[in-house]
C-alpha cells in the first residue's frame, strides 16, 4: 500500500482479486474461504457483469445453518445469493478514500463492515475490506490533523513576523512609532491607576542632515544603527521601551521612573553615544557624533493626555538643541 495523503484513492489500497461466475458451486467458494482466511468476500458475475457480492461473514453464516451445507454445497453460488437482499456497494478505483469511507459509514449498522466492490475498469472488479478502508481513513484523518497543526504553526509564525514588521523599525530593530504610541498609551493608563511616575526621553542626533550629506546615506544608516545600539545598551528593564521616533529621533519610555532616574539614564545614553567616537566633521559641537535629549516626567492624571508628556519632552529637546546641543534638558527647567 502506498503512503496515504488527503488525495489518496481506493486504488492506493490493497484490493482482493477474486471474482467467480454465478454458476460456480458453493463448496468451491467454501474451500476458497478455508484456504484464505483474509479474503473478505467474493465478487459474483453473470456473463462477466457484476451481479452480486457476498461477504465471508454472510456466506459462512448461511452455510452454518441447519442443513446449510447439504442445501447449498453442491449447488451454484447463485442459489445462496438469491437469499441475500444486500446490494453491493460499488466505487470506481479513483474514488477518494475519505469519500468512500463516509459512504460506507452511512450504510445501516449491519452493513458497515460489509466489503465493497472497486471497479478498476469496465468488467474488471476487485474487493476491498472495509476495515482496511476505515483504518486508511483514520490514518488520513491523523495526517490531516498533523497538516492542520503544521499550517497553524506556519500561520502563527507568519503572524508573528507580520506583527514584528508592523511594530519594529527595520533599520534599527527598535520599536517603531506605532509601537511607541501604543505602549505610551498603555503605560499612561497603568501609571495613572498606580499613581506613579512616567518618564519620557526624546533624543535627536545632532546635525544629522550634515552627516548624511557629507558621508552618504549608507554611512548615515550605519550611524543610526550604532546610536540605536548605544541607547538600547543602557536600557535594562523589561518594562522600558526604546523606539525610533522618526528619522534621526529616538525615544525612551520609562514607567515607574521619576525625573532623577530619567536624568541618570539620559546622562548614561549621552556618554555612550560620545564613546562611539563616530567621526562627524560637519558637526558644530564636536568632532564626533553627539545627541541632544529632552526629558519629561509626570504622574498621569485624568486632566492630562499622553500627548502632553510628548509635548513636554519635545519642548525640553528643543531647548537642548537651541542651547548648543550635546546635552540634555529636563522639562521642569523650562518653568
User: 327, 301, 331, 328: which is closest to 199 by C-alpha?
Assistant: 331
> What does the alpha-carbon distance between residue 201 and residue 5 come to, in Å, rounded to a whole number?
58
Q: Is 124 a catalytic residue?
A: no
Distance CA 28, CA 42 (A): 11
Active-site annotation holder among 114, 119, 248, 249:
248
CA gap 140, 112 in Å, rounded: 19
Distances (CA, A) of 53 to 7, 260, 308: 27, 91, 85
Q: Which residue has the cell 550611524?
A: 223
Q: Is 206 exposed, middle or buried (0-12, 13-18, 19+ CB in 10 A)?
A: buried
Q: What cell numbers appear for 174 in the block?
A: 527598535
* C-alpha distances out from residue 26 to 18, 87, 166, Å: 14, 19, 75
DSSP 200: E
Q: Where are the beta strands (DSSP E) in the chain?
A: 19-21, 41-46, 49-55, 90-92, 116-121, 124-128, 198-205, 241-246, 249-255, 291-298, 328-330
Residue 62, Cβ neighbours under 10 Å: how many?
A: 17
Q: Which residues contact 243 (CB under 8 A, 6 or more apart)?
A: 169, 174, 175, 176, 177, 179, 180, 183, 250, 251, 252, 253
SS3 107: coil
The residues annotated as belonging to the active site are 248
Amino acid at each position: 500500500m502506498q503512503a496515504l495523503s488527503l488525495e489518496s484513492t481506493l486504488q492506493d489500497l490493497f484490493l482482493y482479486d477474486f471474482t467467480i461466475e454465478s454458476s460456480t458451486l458453493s463448496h468451491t467458494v467454501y474451500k476458497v474461504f478455508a484456504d484464505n482466511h483474509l479474503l473478505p468476500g467474493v465478487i459474483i458475475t453473470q456473463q462477466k457483469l457484476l451481479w452480486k457480492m457476498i461477504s465471508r461473514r454472510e456466506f459462512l453464516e448461511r452455510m452454518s445453518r441447519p442443513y446449510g451445507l447439504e442445501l447449498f454445497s453442491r449447488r451454484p453460488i447463485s442459489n445462496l445469493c438469491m437469499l441475500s437482499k444486500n446490494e453491493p456497494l460499488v466505487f470506481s478505483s479513483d474514488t477518494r478514500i475519505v469519500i468512500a469511507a463516509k459512504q460506507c459509514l452511512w450504510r445501516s449498522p449491519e452493513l458497515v463492515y460489509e466489503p465493497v466492490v472497486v471497479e478498476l475498469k469496465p468488467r474488471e472488479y476487485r474487493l476491498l475490506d472495509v476495515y482496511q478502508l476505515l483504518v486508511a481513513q483514520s490514518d488520513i484523518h491523523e495526517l490531516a490533523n498533523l497538516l492542520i497543526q503544521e499550517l497553524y504553526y506556519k500561520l502563527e509564525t507568519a503572524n508573528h513576523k507580520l506583527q514584528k514588521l508592523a511594530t519594529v523599525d527595520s533599520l534599527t530593530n527598535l520599536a517603531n512609532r506605532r509601537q511607541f504610541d501604543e505602549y505610551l498609551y498603555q503605560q499612561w493608563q497603568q501609571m495613572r491607576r498606580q499613581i506613579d511616575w512616567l518618564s519620557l526621553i526624546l533624543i535627536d542626533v545632532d546635525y544629522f542632515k550634515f552627516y548624511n550629506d557629507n558621508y552618504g546615506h549608507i554611512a548615515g544608516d550605519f550611524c543610526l544603527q550604532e546610536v540605536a545600539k548605544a541607547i538600547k545598551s543602557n536600557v535594562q528593564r523589561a518594562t522600558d521601551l526604546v523606539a525610533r521616533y522618526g528619522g534621526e529621533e529616538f525615544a525612551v519610555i520609562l514607567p515607574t521612573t521619576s525625573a532623577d532616574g530619567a536624568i541618570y539614564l539620559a546622562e548614561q545614553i549621552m556618554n555612550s553615544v560620545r564613546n562611539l567616537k563616530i567621526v562627524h566633521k560637519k558637526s558644530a559641537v564636536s568632532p564626533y557624533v553627539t545627541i541632544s535629549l529632552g526629558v519629561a516626567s509626570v504622574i498621569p492624571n485624568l486632566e492630562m493626555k499622553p500627548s502632553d508628556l510628548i509635548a513636554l519632552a519635545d519642548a525640553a529637546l528643543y531647548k537642548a538643541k537651541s542651547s548648543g546641543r550635546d546635552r540634555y534638558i529636563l522639562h521642569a527647567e523650562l518653568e
